[in-house]
């Protein structure tokens, strides 16, 4: 666990040749992975420049290109202080919808030894309830019919196909998204798709490719226009693509990279503060359940209660008690911690991070894409608790809060802008149902989120929680539960 290494904060990095392509160049990776890579290059050298790829829109490219793809990372301390560093490791940004051939060409270059990803849960085009690739997903349907791909799995498979055909080793696929066993998930998606193209290609990827799992942790709120204006006034120059983040960062990586490249298979991430391990799963469970699970719980219930940010939510004593009870009684007992890690101390550290008033991490932002996030952040913990016959009323209220949220109307009768791949369907299901019991039953029937078995187990407790939230409001419902 490392704060940014201040001794490395200097400009004028001699840009190395590219060795990494990153799919989904958003704020998080620029405040996280790019810093680790740049620090590793400063310490140990190596051609590990990053070529970013936007899979959706040109906005990030258009903001970074006039700045020679350099940008500022602003670390915000709990006491209101902040420090900044210039990050210069990114070489270029490609926009996949504009020129998918250019993306495939650079991914096929043998100098590229790693492809990293932050495409969010929905970017893997999988079924969150099962982990299998969703062949009905519009992007996967397109990729099966077209020569040039659209999806992240499509770009991975087509680029690996070109490398195999050219006699080049594969690249290591290093996902940085918050998914349990994320390396195994993206490997499964790639192999499922590759088999449709060519079973021999799937066999080559399975044998020669590497998909290490990772755990990533750094709170990175969305940058707002007023942040850009404030930084311009403070520094005297305008950066149109800064990113803001907390001081804390942690990257745990399974040390399993394509062996063909020998010592040049990866940058010296350990020198930059990453933890290189044999098995990342205990760390993933710790972070997904304790941080992401409580973040989502606070996001839905806190938003309904009128709280704009996580810091504001946990300043409310009811929600402070709620999240502490979640950790103590429902989450910590549900899994085995990494060796040597004190989960109670980790929970205390998380609460301190949540209270940082400088990090305006909006509940609305965290609430996005809940249909993709719930299975790994909350439902897996519930399933383990139910199997152990351990009550988890707080998490039942979190699921009910999500159901209330996707109904699209807050507790004051104002519309909620629900951002979710299933938003329209979820709203229609909620609107068509009358009673709390009917609404819960309809939403529990969404098989992309809830398995049939779990739905049957959740029906009664979630209905009770939903009815309480609808009648009393989320804050009062939580206070009653506590």
304 φ, ψ to 5°?
A: -60, -30
Q: What's the length of the chain?
A: 482
Tell me how many helices (H) and strands (E) the chain has: 22, 11
Average pLDDT over residues 29-52: 98
Q: How far apart are CA 140 and CA 55, in angstroms?
A: 14
Element (DSSP H or E) covering residue 49: strand 49-54
Confidence (pLDDT) at 5: 36
pLDDT tens per residue, range 343-388: 999 999 999 999 999 998 999 999 999 999 999 999 999 999 999 9
Mean pLDDT of the chain, nearest integer: 95
Nearest alpha carbon to residue 235 among 356, 358, 83, 87: 83
Return the axis-axis angle of helices 182-197 and 152-166, rounded to nearest 10°: 60
* Mean pLDDT computed over 436-441: 98
Residue whose C-alpha is closest to residue 327's, from 289, 370, 374: 289
User: Is residue 95 within 8 Å of 24, Cβ to Cβ?
Assistant: no
Q: Where residue 184 falls among pLDDT bands split at 50, 70, 90?
A: very high
pLDDT in tens, 131-165: 899 999 999 999 999 999 999 999 999 999 999 99
Taking only the tens place, the pLDDT of each residue in 313-349 is: 999 999 999 999 999 999 999 999 999 999 999 999 9
Q: What is the pTM of this model?
A: 0.88
pLDDT tens for 77-98 read 998 889 999 999 999 999 999 9
Q: Is the pLDDT of residue 300 over 80?
A: yes
Q: Is the pLDDT of residue 263 over 70?
A: yes
Q: Domain 6-277: give its CATH code.
A: 3.40.50.720
Q: Which residues pair with 249 in a beta bridge?
A: 2
Which part of the chain has CATH 3.40.50.720? 6-277
Among all chains, which residue has been given the structure tokens 């009648």? 471
Confidence of residue 467 (pLDDT cuts 50, 70, 90): very high
The answer to whether 124 touches 137, Cβ cutoff 8 Å, is no
Pick from 423, 176, 386: which is nearest to 287 by CA? 176
The conformation of residue 441, written as its DSSP 8-state character, comes to H
CA distance 389 to 164: 50
Give the pLDDT score at 128: 87
Domain 282-481 CATH class label: mainly alpha
Residue 11 pLDDT: 46
**Residue 412 to residue 402: CA distance in whole angstroms:** 16
pLDDT of residue 13: 62
Measure the CA–CA gap between 69 and 61, rounded to whole angstroms. Answer: 8
Where exactly does CATH 1.10.1040.10 map onto the chain?
Answer: 282-481
């Amino acid at each position: 666990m490392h704060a940014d290494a201040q001794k490395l904060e200097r400009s004028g990095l001699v840009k190395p040749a590219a060795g990494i392509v990153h799919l989904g160049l958003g704020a998080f990776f620029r405040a996280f992975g790019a810093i680790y890579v740049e620090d590793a290059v400063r310490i140990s050298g190596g051609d590990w420049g990053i070529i970013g790829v936007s899979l959706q829109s040109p906005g990030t490219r258009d903001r970074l290109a006039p700045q020679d793809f350099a940008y500022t990372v602003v670390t915000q301390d709990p006491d209101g202080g902040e420090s900044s560093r210039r990050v210069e490791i990114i070489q270029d940004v490609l926009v996949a919808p504009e020129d998918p051939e250019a993306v495939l060409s650079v991914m096929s270059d043998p100098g590229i030894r790693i492809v990293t990803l932050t495409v969010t849960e929905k970017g893997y085009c999988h079924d969150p309830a099962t982990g299998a690739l969703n062949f009905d997903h519009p992007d996967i349907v397109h990729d099966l019919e077209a020569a040039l791909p659209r999806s992240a799995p499509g770009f991975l498979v087509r680029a690996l196909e070109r490398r195999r055909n050219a006699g080049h080793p594969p690249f290591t696929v290093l996902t940085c998204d918050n998914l349990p066993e994320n390396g195994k998930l993206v490997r499964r998606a790639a192999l499922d798709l590759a088999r449709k193209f060519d079973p021999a290609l799937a066999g080559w990827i399975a044998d020669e490719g590497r998909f290490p799992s990772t755990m990533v942790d750094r709170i990175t709120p969305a940058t707002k226009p007023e942040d850009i204006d404030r930084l311009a006034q403070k520094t005297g120059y305008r950066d149109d693509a800064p990113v803001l983040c907390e001081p804390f960062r942690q990257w745990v990586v399974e040390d399993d990279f394509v062996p063909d490249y020998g010592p040049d298979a990866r940058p010296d991430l350990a020198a930059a503060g990453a933890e290189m391990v044999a098995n990342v799963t205990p760390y993933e469970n710790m972070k997904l359940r304790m941080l992401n699970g409580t973040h989502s719980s606070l996001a839905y219930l806190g938003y309904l209660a009128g709280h704009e940010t996580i810091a504001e939510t946990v300043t409310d004593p009811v929600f402070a008690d709620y999240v502490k009870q979640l950790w103590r009684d429902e989450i910590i007992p549900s899994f085995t911690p990494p060796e040597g890690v004190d989960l109670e101390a980790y929970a205390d550290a998380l609460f301190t991070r949540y209270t940082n008033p400088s990090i305006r991490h909006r509940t609305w932002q965290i609430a996005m894409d809940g249909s993709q996030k719930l299975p790994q952040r909350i439902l897996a913990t519930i399933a383990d608790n139910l199997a152990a016959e351990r009550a988890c009323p707080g998490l039942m209220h979190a699921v009910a809060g999500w159901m209330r949220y996707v109904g699209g109307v807050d507790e004051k009768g104002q519309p909620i802008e629900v951002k979710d791949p299933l938003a329209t369907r979820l709203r229609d299901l909620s609107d068509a149902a009358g009673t709390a019991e009917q609404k819960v039953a309809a939403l529990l029937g969404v098989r992309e989120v809830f398995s049939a078995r779990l739905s049957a187990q959740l029906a009664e407790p979630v209905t009770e929680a939903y009815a309480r939230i609808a009648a009393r409001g989320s804050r009062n419902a939580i206070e009653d539960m506590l």
